[in-house]
Amino acid sequence: MLDNGWDVGRSVRRLVFRGPLRCNLCGSGVRFRSVTGELGETFAKYGFPYSLDDFETLNHRQYRCPVCGSADRDRLYGLYVDRFLPPDRVRRVLDFAPSPSLSRYLRGRADLDYRTADLMMAGVDDVVDITHMPNYADGSFEFFICSHVLEHVSDDALALKELYRVLTPGGRGIVMTPIAPEGSFDEDPSVVDESERWRRFAQGDHVRLYDRSTLCARIRNSGFEVTALDSRTFGQETFAEHAIAENSVLYVVEKPA
């Protein structure tokens, strides 16, 4: 072990952080819970051809905070909000399919005029179909979070078009989906068999599997600019402290002003 808490693991490519780990959403010092066995076995059962390690932004070994329930990606969004949405003015924020831990964190920020939305989820502020949101006027929001939603939506282009419309010019958003290795992109909204969806799209209610280039191309096609932020932005040590995998990438979109 090195003096600063870092240890060079068996693989030279992997640095293991052995300092105290902390959830940045609830502030607790914790041992994050793994989903490796459960999810890995499900992939194997359905014959999904990739492993958990193949996915971008998935720390399956240190996934969930035992106190607030945050997933690694929720902690990543928290880092972004803290750094890039300073409390210098009130911002209107829309969060689709909200994660309870991140939602609690964002509601706690007095400077955010925060709303949640979803079609299926109980308890959200607005029950909406992301491909058709007549309840929101053009340019209603300055920031949105659309995380792990598009892979459930048959027409993702329509969803992105609506996100673009409801965002104010110069506004930004987080657009995240599961990302499998480059070249793995696959989609077929006509597949309704759950086993087949698991085999091809990594979950029984997904209609496609994204790779990085296809997701970014579709985001750009909708008019957004997209920026990929990673550990070079937030710091390798910060990622490690909050159990965010080294290969994690945050896709931030912007509607040109």
Site residues (CB under 5 A) for Zn ion? 23, 25-26, 65, 67-68, 70
**Closest of 99, 80, 229 to residue 143, by C-alpha:** 80
Least separation, in Å, of the C-beta of 78 and Zn ion?
A: 9
Q: What Rg, from alpha-carbon coordinates, does the chain have?
A: 18
Decide if 195 contacts 131 (C-beta within 8 A).
no
- Minimum distance of Zn ion from residue 148's CB (angstroms): 18
Q: Which is nearer to Zn ion, 106 or 207 (CB)?
A: 106
Q: Which is nearer to Zn ion, 19 or 66 (CB)?
A: 66
The enclosing H or E element of 173 equals strand 167-176
Nearer to Zn ion, 25 or 250 (CB): 25
Smallest distance from the beta carbon of 194 to Zn ion, in angstroms? Answer: 31
Task: Using the minimum distance from each CB to Zn ion, give the nearer residue, 67 or 249.
Answer: 67
Q: What backbone phi and psi angles, to 5 degrees, belong to 98? A: -60, 140
Strands of the sheet with 208-211, listed across from one edge: 179-180, 208-211, 186-187
Residue of 167, 92, 94 lying closest to 137 (CA atoms): 167
Q: What SS3 class is residue 34?
A: coil
* Closer residue to Zn ion (CB): 70 or 248: 70
CB of 100 to Zn ion, least distance (A): 11
Supply the minimum distance, in Å, between the C-beta of residue 130 and Zn ion.
27
- Spatial CA neighbour of 241 closest among 105, 94, 62: 62
